[in-house]
Amino acid sequence: AGDTVATLVQNPDYYTSVAMYGREAVRMNKQTFGDIIYRPVDKRENYVKRCIGMPGDSLSVRDNQVYINGKKAVNPKNMQFNYFVETEVPFTEKMFRKWGVSKEDYMPYGQPSVVTDERTLAFLGFAPNSTGAYNMVYHFPMTEEALELVKKVPSVKKVIIEPDVLAGTMYYPVDYDNGWSRDNYGPIWIPKRGATIELTPENVALYARCIRNYEHNALEQKEDGVYVNGEKSDTYTFKYDYYWMMGDNRHNSADSRSWGFVPEDHVVGKPIMIWLSLDKDRSWIDGKIRWNRLFRWVDNIK
């Protein structure tokens, strides 16, 4: 199974763009979306994501915590979430370095990521100071370890996690309103080779991409039922195993919450060792090489 790609807009992916704007709008507007091409598996861009759901598992996310088959999943040590941080004085580059926050994260557009809109600040629960003005409020991702360090800074007045409502609503399946969101998702069952599902409207929405795009079937939903390859069907049996992938930077990751299940033939490998790690924010004479990460087994970086 390959993939369909809009050459000028690849985030969000083609299928999400179709759900947002319509198939014809995407295919006809070449100035915005570019050519629509079919890219085979061996020519696809590779992502490195953490596999957290196996074939046959039921997965859910509740208040940012992942559950597998009803049990809390172990959280990676370096898992990150976005936070809003109120401070009386600006943070320095040295402070961000200490917390392990990259320039790309706290200066995404060349300037510090600071919230200045008063309505947004009020919505988030921040209040004016004694002078009637708002303190500086930064917005950036942090690990749990960095969060604890930031809370100890004397100038920091308040820290809140980015609320789910700011994350948008374009999550898999994008054309079915089930109320799921970035931080509260599922439960969703991950398809397993040989397993059979009923073709209910909800299941068709959840698994249509698997049935059509990855297992190459014609799938139609008509007034009198669901048709697979022209035959009315009440059930469907999967041909492949599927997996659920999520990035450790949970609020800034294009992962299965956006594009759904990953079929077995799309899993191309597993990172084993880090042989070189560079800090893009530092020069060669200022600690660019992360010596503590060189020649480390990936499994040791939790």
> CB–CB of 82/98 below 8 Å?
no
* Predicted confidence (pLDDT) at residue 229 exceeds the cutoff of 80: yes
Query: Per-residue confidence at 9, pLDDT binned at 50, 70, 90?
Result: low
> CB–CB of 142/250 below 8 Å?
no
Per-chain mean pLDDT for the chain: 87
* Predicted confidence (pLDDT) at residue 295 exceeds the cutoff of 80: no
Amino acid making up residue 58: S
* Predicted confidence (pLDDT) at residue 1 exceeds the cutoff of 50: no
Look up the pTM and report it: 0.79
- Convert the pLDDT of each residue in 108-153 to its tens digit: 777 889 999 999 999 999 999 999 999 999 999 999 999 999 999 9
The torsion region of residue 59 among left (phi > 0), alpha (psi -120 to 50) and beta comes to beta
* C-alpha closest to that of 260 among 141, 194, 170: 170
pLDDT for res 118: 94
* Predicted confidence (pLDDT) at residue 2 exceeds the cutoff of 90: no
> CB–CB of 26/17 below 8 Å?
yes
- Convert the pLDDT of each residue in 150-204 to its tens digit: 999 999 999 999 999 877 777 899 878 888 999 999 999 999 999 999 999 999 9
In order of their start, the domains of the chain are 1-45 (no CATH), 80-166 (3.30.70), 271-302 (no CATH)
